[in-house]
């Protein structure tokens, strides 16, 4: 996916700050002098894949455009424990008000990118590519999917509008795989793909015969997947 644009991330940051601040930060406002200046550093506490540096920086700048923020690493970079990621200087009040939201978003993205990298490494030497899903935290999808890409995976659908994925409940409601695929072929824009979720060989055969572009093997055993791959025989993409 392309680099995130401020139009995409600003609403997320605004909601997160609103959630964290509520009626205001009593502790910072009453304990810290308004004109006091400070310097802060964000350092990782363990080896990780860096993600969300730009998001964290944007949080600090959203709270106070006068803060000076320096990014010291690169998104997607594997770094060691105690590596300096960000340095911030300026109003002590502003830094304290921004730090938790910045750390929450960046920490989550680093965690996702790091675990993704582990799975990607496990697949090295194979033709298999790792894809993400729509099973994301509500409101944070674009950040979490960005993190999976930084970890080395590829994005699947961002939303329901990006393609047709026929799952078990769709199949039941439509009356079968063949009926579901037929209706999609009649109404789906030609650039969108049709994917069918299958759980056994009979469903795989029906999906292939119906003309599905992509076949998903859902919770099949390794042996069943081997047999299913032979059935597909290159006629569709397999997930």
Burial class (CB in 10 A: 0-12, 13-18, 19+), 17: middle
In a domain, 141, yes or no: no
Residue position matching structure tokens 């769709």: 170
Examine the domain organization and report whether 36 and 91 are in the same domain: yes
Query: 102, 122, 142: which is the final residue of a domain?
Result: 122
Task: State yes or no: is 218 an active-site residue.
Answer: yes
In a domain, 54, yes or no: yes
Handedness of CA 12, 90, 78, 1 (dihedral sign): positive
In a domain, 143, yes or no: no
Identify which of 178, 180, 206, 191 has the alpha carbon closest to the alpha carbon of residue 232: 206
CATH number where 17 lies? 3.90.1170.20
In a domain, 196, yes or no: yes
Q: What's the structural domain count of the chain? A: 2
Examine the domain organization and report whether 110 and 182 are in the same domain: no
Examine the domain organization and report whether 115 and 170 are in the same domain: no
Model pLDDT, residue 2:
59
Of 167, 172, 226, 235, the catalytic one is: 167
In a domain, 30, yes or no: yes
Spatial strand order in the sheet of 164-166 = 164-166, 194-198, 214-217, 237-238
In a domain, 232, yes or no: yes
The upper half-sphere exposure of residue 130, i.e. CA atoms within 13 Å in the direction of its Cβ, equals 19
Give the separation between CA 211 and CA 149, rounded to whole angstroms.
Answer: 30
Examine the domain organization and report whether 26 and 76 are in the same domain: yes
Model pLDDT, residue 7:
87
Tokens of 230: 């032979």
Task: State yes or no: is 124 an active-site residue.
Answer: no
Model pLDDT, residue 214:
98
Examine the domain organization and report whether 102 and 196 are in the same domain: no
In a domain, 145, yes or no: no
Examine the domain organization and report whether 117 and 221 are in the same domain: no
Residue position matching structure tokens 């965690």: 111
Task: State yes or no: is 202 an active-site residue.
Answer: no
In a domain, 11, yes or no: yes
Handedness of CA 101, 106, 107, 111 (dihedral sign): positive
Examine the domain organization and report whether 93 and 167 are in the same domain: no
Examine the domain organization and report whether 117 and 37 are in the same domain: yes
Task: State yes or no: is 167 an active-site residue.
Answer: yes
Model pLDDT, residue 1:
65
Of 100, 183, 185, 205, the catalytic one is: 100
Of 36, 45, 80, 135, the catalytic one is: 135
Give the separation between CA 218 and CA 239, rounded to whole angstroms.
Answer: 9
State which residues form the domain around 28: 6-122
Examine the domain organization and report whether 13 and 116 are in the same domain: yes
Examine the domain organization and report whether 112 and 63 are in the same domain: yes
Query: 61, 90, 122: which is the final residue of a domain?
Result: 122
Instruction: Give DSSP secondary structure letters for 117-182.
Output: HHHHHHTTTSS---B--S---TT-HHHHHHHHHHTT-B---SSGGG-EEE-HHHHHHHTSHHHHHH
Task: State yes or no: is 121 an active-site residue.
Answer: no
Handedness of CA 163, 166, 169, 172 (dihedral sign): positive
Examine the domain organization and report whether 100 and 19 are in the same domain: yes
Examine the domain organization and report whether 113 and 174 are in the same domain: no
Residue pLDDT tens, the chain, 239 long: 657 888 889 999 999 999 999 999 999 999 999 999 999 999 999 999 999 999 999 999 999 999 999 999 999 999 999 999 999 999 999 999 999 999 999 999 999 999 999 999 999 999 999 999 999 999 999 999 999 999 999 999 999 999 999 999 999 999 999 999 999 999 999 999 999 999 999 999 999 999 999 999 999 999 999 999 999 999 999 99
Model pLDDT, residue 5:
82
Query: 92, 122, 152: which is the final residue of a domain?
Result: 122
* Strand pairing report for 84-91 and 164-166: unpaired
CATH number where 195 lies? 3.20.20.70
Of 144, 197, 203, 206, the catalytic one is: 197
């Amino acid at each position: 996916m392309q680099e995130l644009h401020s139009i995409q991330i600003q609403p997320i940051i605004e909601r997160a700050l609103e959630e964290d601040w509520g009626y205001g930060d009593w502790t910072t406002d009453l304990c810290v002098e308004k004109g006091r200046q400070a310097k802060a550093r964000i350092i990782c506490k363990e080896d990780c894949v860096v993600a969300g540096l730009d998001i964290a920086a944007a949080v600090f700048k959203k709270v106070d455009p006068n803060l000076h923020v320096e990014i010291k690493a690169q998104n997607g970079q594997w770094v060691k424990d105690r590596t300096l990621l960000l340095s911030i200087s300026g109003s002590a009040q502003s830094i304290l008000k921004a730090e938790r939201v910045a750390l929450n978003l960046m920490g989550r993205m680093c965690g996702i990118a790091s675990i993704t990298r582990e799975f990607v490494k496990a697949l090295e030497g194979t033709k298999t590519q790792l894809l993400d899903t729509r099973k994301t935290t509500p409101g944070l999808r674009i950040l979490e999917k960005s993190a999976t890409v930084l970890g080395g995976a590829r994005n699947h659908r961002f939303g329901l509008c990006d393609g047709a994925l026929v799952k078990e409940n769709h199949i039941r409601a439509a009356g079968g795989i063949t009926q579901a695929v037929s209706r999609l072929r009649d109404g789906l824009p030609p650039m969108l793909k049709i994917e069918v979720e299958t759980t056994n060989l009979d469903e795989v055969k029906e999906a292939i015969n119906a003309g599905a572009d992509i076949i998903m093997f859902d919770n099949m055993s390794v042996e069943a997947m081997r047999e299913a791959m032979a059935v597909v025989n290159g006629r569709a993409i397999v997930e």
